[in-house]
Structure 1
Amino acid sequence: MKTIQIWLFIGIILVLVSCQDTTEPDSTQVATFEGTVYALGELGQPLPLSDVLVTAKGFYKQTTTNTEGKYEISVEPEAGEETVSLELEFSKVGYRLTFKNVEGLKGERTKVPDVTMQSTNDDSSVVTPPGGESDDAAHIEIYGSHESHIYVRSSGLTEAAIVQFVVTDARGRRVDENHKVLVHFSILNGPNGGEYLFPDTMTTQAGFVHTVLNSGYVSGTVQLIASFEVNGKEYRTLPVRLAIWGGLPDQEHFSVALDRVNIAGHVHSGILDPVTAYVGDKFGNPVAPGTAVYFYSDYGILEGSAITDEMGRATVRYMSAQPLPPNPAEYSLAEITATTYGDTLKVEQLSSSTKLLLTGPTAAIQISPETFTYTDVNQPVSFDYTISDIWGYPLVKDTRIKITASDGNLYGDTDIKMLDTQASGPGRTEFNFAWAPGDSLEAPQVYISIRVTTPEDGNGYQSANVVGTKQ
């Protein structure tokens, strides 16, 4: 009988276990966020913080950090949405409440920037520094490492940096409780875009103090100092430098430009023309150095990508090569497009484009009239002439047009150095000049010469002559 009861009990347990819902969430339908939480140790070093309650506000999801300070939390986007924007709340008894705004994609894992929580302990928790009792404070210097840069406010990126200092006596010992000092923090120089320090004063704890640089809306370099007074004498640090970088790219501040807008691409292969994308954030600051920009073109060959410099410039090289526009008489432009992303998830794609004119060989010079007559009367003769490639497009930059005459005087468009242009018409492909014999010109004939010379990678040489005869 006892054996039957035992087997009956085991059977009930098995049934209950088999009825439990062991289904895990489908990872392709949730956005997962993972990160690490730290606290500052006595010496200012970051230490993993366990048992921190992590809450995804608005999604009713919570988890806690493990002994390594790590956590993972998954949330499901709203119906029809691929992205999740949420606010993570970090809380633990004895530490200040901390928040972090993050974005993630459904079906992907997102690394959350490290979180450092500040203790709420007061001065009573301070221990006596190593080396025993200290003397009066005599030195202050930066302690440990800190962020080399942050980003402008409202960029969605890191906007604050903790900077730590240590105060010591003349023998290099951290000041103790009996010799603590009030340290003042101030910005010596900055971009004046609303950046600020908080707190701006702090009393040493075991010799340590810290402040937080919070960015404003303007990028640039910030210099901050920490100082204190003892017995009427001021002690201060050397300036500490941090950079405030621009935020994410903005469509209204994204453009692309060519070094030359007209090259003889139908004449020479291998002509290199730099292409530069100019990338700014929504406040008009250059974006952070290292922002990736991608490029492509419908004709020729183009380097595929580059990263921005400190002014938000990313430059690649276009090279004239096949394929070329198939019907250049009607259309001989290569469209060059630059793209980047306006968010960290690479969802919001930005683009800007420009067009490069690919011109052909220099056409025969057209001039009217082709011949002329003159008398002893100083009566000028006017000429119209056209200089272009074989399809009517303007010649490339630094093309030289030079007109000379064997006798008489020339006026007008007689010595021209072409500018970089895609436009045809007066001053670009159409020109005019006048010749006058002067008083009592005796020469029976006058020869007017037009010479077109181009750069080494230009459209090519052409010339023409006009003959005048005396009546």
Structure 2
Amino acid sequence: MKKFVLYISLFFLVLMGCKKKAVEPEVPQQKTVILSGSVFESVTGWPIDSAVIKVTGITPQVVTYTDSVGRYRVSFEVEAEINVNVIAFKEGYEPDTVVVLAVPGRTVNVPGLFLKRTAPETPTSGEAASIVLISQTAKNIGVKGSGSVETAQMIFEVQDSSGRPVDLAHSVEVSFKIGSGPGGGEFIYPPKARTDAKGRVTANIVSGTKAGVVQVVAESNVGSKTIKSLPVVIVIHGGLPDSAHFSIAPEKLNFPGYNVFGLRNRITAYVGDKYGNPVKPGTAVYFTTTGGIIEGSALTNEQGQGSVNLISAEPRPVHPVLGPGYAVITATTADENQRTIKAETIVLFSGIPQITVEPTNFDIPNLGSQVFNYTVSDQNGNPLAGGTTIRVTIDGKDIRALGDLDITLPDTRDRSWTRFSFAIQDTTSDIVERPVLIRISTSGPNGSATVNISGKVR
């Protein structure tokens, strides 16, 4: 039995040995290595384009260039893992190198390469020949205590005859002075300074208590000559509003807006600071009126003035003391303590012309005379607008007229400009009764009116 089992085992071994052995396919070995990376400027971190990338440590060496965003990608073949040098360089920069392990069949991300710019050779300057303003922090500053910026910094550069900044070997001392100014205590600090390695000096102008224009000049003595900058102009604006320097005025004290709507009258606020300077531009002023309507606000200009339009409309004004036609215009703003301050003015809205005269009939004796009193006003008894003309014409023989015969009204709110008078006188001793016709007429912005009266002279 044991022999039988042994024979069977030998049979199967021989049978298996007679079968053809299976051959597995041969896998080709990967030899290509891909290197990928970027090149940057060492100070700014900006990518560098067109930099040369050289891979050494392999044969042959491989060269490529970075693209517009500083990236590169290069491939080559190796038989086995190997350390290679990746070198980046470009004209005007110091090169940078990194060592990476090149593995066949792999893409290797190369650490960033950083190129440092080589310092250009600094040319030597000549002797100082001119002074120019390089920059200034502000063209406008505020007076002392205004709450605005009170200091402006100026940087000047001293240059040689070729326009190059003077170097330290040709450094000069520069003095600063105020060529002209408002005289409110403004000053320059420091009064003098020496140029640095870039040929530059810095000065500060500090405002005083007065607004105005300041001219700053930088100058330096170079040998036997003096070089100067062009004047640097800086405007000093005023501070915040002050109640003692706040006023308001209309363009017209009297305008014919009681019966005619839509007429405009310019109202201007004049705003100064506690030193009497115009306030800083852009100061807000608010307006209200007791008659018609008014534009609500205005911003002051360089002269501290802000204007709006008063427009004739309802309501027709009634003043508690002066009566119908008189409107109160109020301007308000805030002072340095955030308190509301105000200024007021009165504007007359005049109406339709009316004429009255006394007496309305007359009989003048031989060589006698007669005085006539007449009024020209609107329906409220107020004066007519400025520019109104009043004329008295007399048609008669051998008489003479004296008094208010030809008048042009000023721009006024005063009711005394409604009352006038004249006289006529018989100039002949002849006792002959003669008729006399008197015409009083007015014409102007408010309209026209005429009154005729008649009488006789003996």
Please give the TM-score of this superposition, normalised by the length of structure 2: 0.69
CA distance in 2, matches of 1:278, 1:211: 35
1:337-374 CA-partner distances (Å, limit 9, x unpaired): 1122224xx932222121222222223x2211111122
| Larger CA deviation: 251-260 vs 296-305 | 296-305
1:23-76 CA-partner distances (Å, limit 9, x unpaired): xxxxxxxxxxxxxxxxxxxxxxxxxxxxxxxxxxxxxxxxxxxxxxxxxxxxxx
Number of the residue aligned with 1:213: 205
1:152-163 to 2 correspondence within 5 Å?
152-163=143-154
1:295-314 to 2 correspondence within 5 Å?
295-314=287-306
Q: Does 1:324 find its partner at 2:316? A: yes
CA contact (8 A) 1:382 1:433 kept: yes
Aligned match of 1:339 in 332, 335, 344?
A: 332
1:66-105 to 2 correspondence within 5 Å?
none
Equivalent AA in structure 2 for residue 311 of structure 1: Q
Q: Does 1:434 find its partner at 2:423? A: yes
Aligned match of 2:277 in 275, 285, 290?
A: 285
Q: Does 1:462 find its partner at 2:449? A: yes
Following superposition, the deviation at residue 317 of structure 1 comes to: 0.7
Q: Does 1:413 find its partner at 2:404? A: yes
CA contact (8 A) 1:403 1:448 kept: yes
CA distance in 2, matches of 1:439, 1:216: 77
Number of the residue aligned with 1:383: 372
1:159-188 CA-partner distances (Å, limit 9, x unpaired): 111111011222333222221111011111
Q: Percent identity of the aligned residues?
A: 39
Equivalent AA in structure 2 for residue 231 of structure 1: G
Number of the residue aligned with 1:114: none
Aligned match of 1:147 in 128, 131, 138?
A: 138
**3-state DSSP of counterpart to 1:287:** coil
Q: Classify 1:252/1:129 alpha carbon distance in 2 versus 1 (closer, same or farther; 3 Å).
A: farther
Following superposition, the deviation at residue 285 of structure 1 comes to: 0.8
CA distance in 1, matches of 2:323, 2:160: 81
Detail structure 1 runs of 4+ shifted over 3 Å in the superposition: 325-331, 440-443
CA contact (8 A) 2:292 2:317 kept: no
CA distance in 1, matches of 2:318, 2:152: 56
CA contact (8 A) 2:242 2:273 kept: yes
CA contact (8 A) 2:319 2:326 kept: no
CA distance in 1, matches of 2:334, 2:372: 55
CA distance in 1, matches of 2:172, 2:433: 100
Question: How many residues were matched structurally?
Answer: 335
CA distance in 1, matches of 2:346, 2:128: 66
1:143-222 to 2 correspondence within 5 Å?
143-206=134-197, 207-222=199-214
Structure 1 spans left out of the alignment, 5+ residues: 1-127
CA distance in 1, matches of 2:258, 2:251: 18
**3-state DSSP of counterpart to 1:461:** strand
Following superposition, the deviation at residue 193 of structure 1 comes to: 2.0
Aligned match of 1:368 in 337, 358, 369?
A: 358
Structure 2 spans left out of the alignment, 5+ residues: 1-118
CA distance in 2, matches of 1:303, 1:142: 44
CA contact (8 A) 2:136 2:153 kept: no
Equivalent AA in structure 1 for residue 388 of structure 2: T
Following superposition, the deviation at residue 423 of structure 1 comes to: 2.1
CA contact (8 A) 1:139 1:167 kept: yes
1:294-348 CA-partner distances (Å, limit 9, x unpaired): 21223212111222122111111111012223799943322211122224xx932
CA distance in 1, matches of 2:161, 2:381: 82
1:408-451 CA-partner distances (Å, limit 9, x unpaired): 211111111111222213xx111111111212465620111101
CA contact (8 A) 2:358 2:373 kept: yes
**3-state DSSP of counterpart to 1:339:** strand
State which structure, 1 or 2, has the greater radius of gyration over its C-alpha atoms.
Answer: 2
Following superposition, the deviation at residue 203 of structure 1 comes to: 0.8
Aligned match of 1:257 in 246, 249, 256?
A: 249
CA distance in 1, matches of 2:121, 2:179: 33
CA distance in 2, matches of 1:138, 1:166: 11
CA contact (8 A) 1:301 1:321 kept: yes
Equivalent AA in structure 2 for residue 208 of structure 1: R
CA contact (8 A) 2:294 2:311 kept: yes
CA distance in 1, matches of 2:131, 2:172: 11
Following superposition, the deviation at residue 210 of structure 1 comes to: 1.2
* Higher strand fraction (1 or 2): 2
1:131-184 CA-partner distances (Å, limit 9, x unpaired): 243322222100123311111122232111111101122233322222111101
CA distance in 2, matches of 1:213, 1:288: 18
CA contact (8 A) 1:129 1:175 kept: no
CA distance in 2, matches of 1:465, 1:220: 60
CA distance in 2, matches of 1:171, 1:385: 85
**3-state DSSP of counterpart to 2:136:** coil
Equivalent AA in structure 2 for residue 369 of structure 1: P
1:439-450 to 2 correspondence within 5 Å?
439-440=428-429, 444-450=434-440
Backbone CA RMSD of aligned residues: 2.2
CA distance in 1, matches of 2:219, 2:338: 46
**3-state DSSP of counterpart to 1:252:** helix
Q: Classify 1:201/1:132 alpha carbon distance in 2 versus 1 (closer, same or farther; 3 Å).
A: same
Q: Classify 1:429/1:183 alpha carbon distance in 2 versus 1 (closer, same or farther; 3 Å).
A: same
Q: Classify 1:326/1:187 alpha carbon distance in 2 versus 1 (closer, same or farther; 3 Å).
A: closer
Number of the residue aligned with 2:21: none
Aligned match of 2:388 in 381, 399, 424?
A: 399
Following superposition, the deviation at residue 201 of structure 1 comes to: 0.7
CA contact (8 A) 1:129 1:174 kept: no
